[in-house]
Amino acid sequence: MTDDGAATAGATGTLGYEQARDELIEVVRRLEAGGTTLEESLALWERGEELAEVCRHWLEGARARLDAALAGPTSPQKADDAPLRDGGGAAGDDD
């Protein structure tokens, strides 16, 4: 089990939300079941904290995307149009 924990600890940055959530559920299950040494329990707790942070990161990203989608159209399109309006508007006003 220790080798598996070390291998997944290195891959925390590449875990998707569902993977991190599923592993976190397993960590909690093992902690609740008991029967582990103090050292194993501490390692599980630390891994759980890492996984919770991964989940939190994904959820914050999802929230930001939802907020952006609900805010309305994106501003890059307006920024692209701005030079055309300035240049086109000035030429149209002179005529």
User: pLDDT tens digit string along 13-47?
Assistant: 689 999 999 999 999 999 999 999 999 999 999 99
| Res. 50: pLDDT tops 90 | yes
Residue 20: its H or E element: helix 17-33
Describe the chain by its helix, strand, coil percentages, rounded to 5: 85, 0, 15
Cα dihedral 55, 28, 9, 56, rounded to 10, equals 10
Model confidence pLDDT, tens digit, residues 64-91: 999 999 998 765 555 455 455 444 444 4
Full-model pTM: 0.61
The predicted structure's pLDDT at residue 14: 86
